[in-house]
Structure 1
Amino acid sequence: MASVASQVVLHPVTTQSLKVLSTTIGRDKLYRGIQYFARFFAWLLLSRGYKIQAARWDALKSHLALGRKLLRLGKFMENAQAVLKALNAPGDTGERITAIGRQLGYFGYLSLDNIAWANAIKFYNLAPSTAQKINKRIMQFWFTGILFSLAHGLLKAGRLANEVKKLQNQTWAEKSLEAERDLKLQNLQVAREAVRYQFIMDVLDVWIPATNVGLVNLNDGVLGIFGLITSLMALRQQWLAAGGKN
């Protein structure tokens, strides 16, 4: 039994899991996945008439959402830094503008999210009408940030596709130059895959704030599935990074 226990505890999968969960973002994505699964499952139970069981999962969803706000305290400063870096960064103007718009959207979202957390734990009491307005602004900023992220992804994908096409059409007399071209193509393909991956996540995530601000009307079952998928995708990125594969 001791041998079996040591194999489980010291297994590489266990070690990599601990590396992921030792980071704030790793824990956040795990909690987010459970949160959105709970949102979906609560909707499913409620739609079938299991009100008591649904209330249990709805409570789990709400407490995880509140706990994740604590993990995000002060995170808006990362977006502030990203805005300043993007202002001075070289490169395509459209990509820079959309990158700045994305970071400003997330900055507003996370800044107000901190205020909403303080109000939720009764550390700072807001009038119900004010709290409602802040929650709406949070969703509007989140929605804006994702829209800019989608635009940024499209622009970057277009630029990378043009660079790949340009390199593929070039011919090289020397093998060393051809090898250099192949390496550049490989790096461009990796970058394109990363852009596509993020674009898929944004396409799914955008419906959550869009529903909360009243632009569309998707039920909690659909939003729960979308949130679960993007949480698992983000958790996969952290898993690969912890394993040195990203």
Structure 2
Amino acid sequence: MATIASQVILHPTVSQSLKFSSTTLGRDKVLEVLQGEKEAAVRWNALKTHLATARKLLRLGKPLEHLQAALKASLASGPVGEQITAIARQISYFGYLSFDALVWINTVKFYSFSSETSTKVAKFAYRFWLAGITLSIINGTLKSVRLAKEERKLKHSKSWGGETDAGREAEQETRLSAILASRDNTRHQLVIDLLDIWIPATALGISNMNDGALGIFGLISSLMAGQKHWQSVNGKK
């Protein structure tokens, strides 16, 4: 019996799950998936609200992470368009999560805003969120175009390069693998952004997507993001 218990407790999947849930992003994505699955059922509205509140609590430290990411992006080298949109995206997410934290403070009654103020705060949060996703889409598009050009150029040089030494060929293969991996990650994030953008757009009245469709989009994007994070924390590509 003890052997069976140890096999279950020490199973690699359990270890990976604990590692995944130990990160803020991992816990956030689990709650987001649970929240999305319940949005279509009216009887789960209270649970949905509490899950949303819990997610906001877990993200209280996230604004500083995005400021750090913005600083790192400003120090990194690369195409100007990609660098500018990367910096602006991180600053937008900083704004979104900062105002979202104020929404949480008002929701849990730690500090109560007037109805008018709370509405304005929520709108600012959605505007920054929409800006961040839009900039992420632009950044992803620019990066995808660049990577596609680099991929074609590298493959062309390989096909017309004639005889090359083993070291040169290995270097080209490594470079091509890096380009393809970066391309796949960029496309993955683009899909997530194209699903997520409808949430703030609808909240701001720019689109009129119904709650059912928003719930499905949110669930899919959460599963995709969660899967990618699972792979990253467990050392998988």
Quickly name the TM-score band, shorter chain normalised.
over 0.9
| 1:181 lines up with 2:172 in the alignment | yes
Shift of residue 173, structure 1, vs aligned partner: 2.4
Q: Identity of paired residues, percent? A: 50
Shift of 1:2: 4.0
Report 1:224-243 matches (<5 A). Answer: 224-243=215-234
SS in 1 for 2:138: helix
Corresponding residue of 1:244: 235
> How do 1:16-55 residues align onto structure 2 when only pairs under 5 Å count?
16-39=16-39, 41-42=40-41, 54=42
- Alignment partner of 1:106 is 2:97: no
SS at match of 1:191: helix
* Shift of residue 223, structure 1, vs aligned partner: 0.6
* Per-residue Cα deviation, 1:54-84 (whole angstroms, up to 9, x for no partner): 2x31111111111111111131111112222
Q: Equivalents in 2 of 1:203, 1:82: separation in Å?
A: 22
Gap change, CA 1:119 and 1:232, over 3 Å in 2: same
Which AA in structure 2 matches 1:4? I
Corresponding pairs, count: 233
1:90 matched to 2:81: no
Moved over 4 A (4+): none
The code of the aligned residue for 1:159 comes to: R
Q: Which amino acid aligns with 1:127?
A: S
* Alignment-derived partner of residue 133 in structure 2: 146
Residue 138 of structure 1, CA deviation: 0.6
Deviation per CA, 1:94-120: give whole Å up to 9, x if none: 001111121121011011111111111
Question: Whole-Å Cα distance in 1 between the matches of residues 233 and 62 of structure 2?
Answer: 21
The TM-score with structure 1 as length reference comes to: 0.91
Residues 113-152 of structure 1 mapped to structure 2, 5 A cutoff: 113-152=100-139
Alignment pair present for 1:208 and 2:199: yes
**Cα distance in structure 2, aligned partners of 1:75 and 1:87:** 19
Cα distance in 2, alignment partners of residues 4 and 226 from structure 1: 40
Counterparts of 1:22 and 1:201 in 2: how far apart (Å)?
A: 23
Listed as ranges, the gaps of 5+ residues in structure 1 are 43-53
Q: Give 1:76's aligned residue.
A: 63
Q: 3-state SS of the aligned residue for 1:124? A: coil
Rounded to whole Å, the distance in 1 between the matches of 2:29 and 2:60 is 15
Question: For residues 3 and 69 of structure 2, what CA distance do their matches in structure 1 show?
Answer: 48
**One-letter amino acid matched to 2:92:** G
Cα distance in 1 for residues equivalent to 2:116 and 2:234: 47
Q: RMSD between aligned alpha carbons?
A: 1.3
Aligned partner letter, 1:203: L
Q: Determine whether 1:190 maps to 2:181.
A: yes
Match of 1:199 among 190, 203, 216: 190
